[in-house]
Amino acid sequence: MTAALPAAPDARAACRHCGSPVPADASDGPEFCCSGCEAAYGLVQGLGLVQYYQRRCIDPAVRPLRPDDEVAVDYSAHVTAEPDGTAVLHLMVEGIHCAACVWLIESLLSRQPGVIGARVNMTTRRLVLRWDPAQADANAVVAPVASVGYRLVPYDPARLGKETERTERDLLRGMAVAGFAAANVMLLSVSVWAGHAGGMGPATRGLMHWVSALIALPAIAYAIRPFFRSALNALRAGRTNMDVPITVGVLLATGMSLAETVTGGEHAYFDSAVSLLFFLLIGRYLDSRARGRARSAAEHLLSLSATAVTVLDADGGRRLLPPSQVAEGMTVLVAAGERVGVDGRVVEGVSDLDASLLTGETVPAVVRPGDRVFAGTLNLSAPLRLAVVAVGESTLLAEIVRMMEVAEQGRARYVALADRVARHYAPVVHTLALATFFGWLLIGGIGWQSALMNAVAVLIITCPCALALAVPVVQVVASGRLLRQGVLLKSATALERVAETDTVVFDKTGTLTLGRLELVRDGDWTDEDLHEAAAMAANSHHPLARALLRAAPTVAAAAGVAEVAGCGLEAGGMKLGSRQWCGVCEDESAGPELWFRRPGRDPVRFAFMDEPRPDAAQVVAALRRRGLAVALMSGDRPATVAALAGRLGIDDWRAGCTPGDKRDRLAELGRSGRRVMMVGDGLNDAPALAAAHVSVSPSTAVDVSQTAADVVFQGHRLGPVVEVLEVAKRGDRLVKQNFGLAFLYNAATVPLAVAGMVTPLIAAIAMSSSSLVVILNALRLARRSVP
């Protein structure tokens, strides 16, 4: 970003240097608030420090970006509007290396006028920014981030993958150059070391040093680029990152060695400098590859929509368009074997659809005209014609990606701790390295060359990479594993709260059960009874009438049927409806039922049951084996709730509960110190879900974005509840292990480096290894444990 020196329209509106209001009686000119600012401004211009002044002028602590400031990239074209009027911008941030970078970017943006929220995903490097467009435009909001050295570009999953590949190729080339140089310089160094015992003369030693320099200096200049570019951008912006001490350490070792070579000294450490870079590059490359294994499942999902879509024109012609150019209302053709690129509704064709990547269901679903299909699903059997319903960021796939990123880049207490440590890392490390140098030089009584090498070892070994990765990598792996099981995390801190759960409370209808009444074949009726009753039921939309009709779908609707509100159906003296209306004595223990009464014949009872989910009993048993208390609360009748509770083995149950009753009960459990997970319908149990410590909801793909729960699972199985608990508890253990490993690493290695017992080469190996250990430990979460 570049910015022009501002010329304020009101000469006395703001100081040209600090932005403060200019007093009306200012004696230092109409453009400055005091003589100090006037002198400072003159010094800045005299020295040509225009970039410094430009950055100060757009620093949000002084003043926001003005409309007359020049911006190199116009981001306004990429802004989308939310239904509530909020502006949203999705960008990719280049130059992110650790949690401190994330903290800095989010802090700068949160200080801008009108910003509602700013979240950066360290894994995908995606920035999601929300603000009030009435208070600022897109360019003004993102200007502070660009001013401190980060490059912002419109978010593109394909570009993200290419950027990662380009970075890894660059690391490999640097590694090859540094490795070649290290091997050759090491051979020369062995000759020098052996010459000390064999009486090598100064001339021969100097020749060896010069040959080493000729090999090492070009290699170091090439291989240090990834670290140097990052460090230089940070320093230009007036900040530091973890590449600053690495660059300083390598340059110090190289500069000292060159000085010794020029003056004919004995101490040259070209082998250490180039070998240090070699092992640092190995560590960074392996770190990148390991992060790739833990790469966000959301990134993989995004790639599913990046496919060409066949659009059918009104004249019968076909066009191949990217999904971003497809508009709602268009008709698209999806051939067998193709992946659906948009959300749509089937208008022609019947096929099997593999939606396992979205729902976790392994069995393909049959879709027919009128059914909804979603971007990212795979058409298996036959061609389908779809009417486009949603594209781009409005699709279910994009909604799932947004929820995944919220979950992966949460601000739990562990993340906050890592951010605070990373924030104070640079000043502490530089102070410690400086103290090591002067301590060894003044107190240790060694030469400045050896003291400098000890300081370099401190700079290299005290890297917060392991600490910064301790939480994010676990969140990414956990979110990806759950997504493969059809589980979506809608809250950033959901997993942390799930891990604390000690009580699970279930709703009944639609949660423990499928929420779909089915006719019970109990022998109380014949096929003739069913067909006559179903013919009458075909004239009603009552759920029990619909369930009765599903048992005899081929029956034609009877004529002359009248519906009596609150009672049932009547035709020619026949009645189909409630027990009281059909003249049958009251029975409080009866479940859902319809009675069918015909003149001169005994009434016939059709009983219905909302069947439990196929694995409900196993899930309840698994929860109890884990030591969790299990309860059931329902608004249904006591007899129905009692029957289901007995069938599933739940002793603690309550019936006739209103949403308010459920909320009050959960609040009561919370006050008693229980950590309650509420598993209920996210669409109508919002008060109860909000009262729980953490909430889980079964949901279809259509309403996944509407539910109020923290965790949403799809499909007909209840097993994801156990899966969420298992992943959360294992993830919590892994996060604590990662923090322990990171703190143990620093506690063990930093004192050794300060004591002069670690060379820069060993420091590089130890630093890279600590990050890899943390990542590999987190990747264990991707393996499913044996139940």
Contact between 489 and 403 (Cβ < 8 Å)? yes
214 to 157, 181, 195, 275, 554: CA distances (angstroms): 42, 10, 20, 15, 90
**Cβ within 8 Å of residue 495, ≥6 positions away:** 407, 410, 475, 478, 489, 724, 727, 728, 731, 732
Number of C-beta neighbours around residue 43 at 10 A: 11
Number of C-beta neighbours around residue 21 at 10 A: 11
CA 547 to chain centre: 42
Selecting among 343, 507, 610, 732, the annotated active-site residue is 507
- What are the phi and psi torsion angles at 203 (to 5°)? -65, -45
Which two tokens mark 522?
Answer: 């109990």
Give the H/E segment covering residue 577: strand 574-577
Q: Residue 322 and residue 385: Cα distance in Å, rounded?
A: 17
Rounded to 5°, the CA angle 624-642-620 comes to 20
Q: Residue 758 and residue 753: Cα distance in Å, rounded?
A: 5
3-state secondary structure of 120: strand
Q: Residue 439 and residue 454: Cα distance in Å, rounded?
A: 10
Q: Residue 711 and residue 158: Cα distance in Å, rounded?
A: 29
Q: Residue 512 and residue 614: Cα distance in Å, rounded?
A: 9
Q: Residue 467 and residue 142: Cα distance in Å, rounded?
A: 28
**Cβ within 8 Å of residue 125, ≥6 positions away:** 92, 93, 94, 96, 160
Which two tokens mark 5?
Answer: 């020196």
Q: Residue 510 and residue 410: Cα distance in Å, rounded?
A: 30
Q: Where are the alpha helices (DSSP H) in 152-305?
A: 157-198, 202-223, 225-236, 243-263, 270-293, 297-305
Give the H/E segment covering residue 378: strand 378-379
Q: Residue 126 and residue 272: Cα distance in Å, rounded?
A: 37
Number of C-beta neighbours around residue 690 at 10 A: 15
Which two tokens mark 125?
Answer: 């490097």
Q: How many helices (H) and strands (E) does the chain have?
A: 26, 27
Q: Residue 770 and residue 53: Cα distance in Å, rounded?
A: 40
Burial (CB count within 10 angstroms: exposed 0-12, middle 13-18, buried 19+), residue 417 = middle
Q: Residue 765 and residue 758: Cα distance in Å, rounded?
A: 11
Contact between 320 and 308 (Cβ < 8 Å)? yes
Strand 351-354: give its sheet, edge to edge.
Answer: 365-367, 351-354, 378-379
Instruction: Clarify whether 59 is annotated catalytic.
Output: no
Q: Residue 123 and residue 125: Cα distance in Å, rounded?
A: 6
- Give which of 480, 515, 475, 477 is closest to 496, Cα–Cα: 475
Contact between 208 and 268 (Cβ < 8 Å)? no
Contact between 408 and 121 (Cβ < 8 Å)? yes
**Cβ within 8 Å of residue 483, ≥6 positions away:** 297, 298, 301, 360, 400, 404
Active site residues: 507
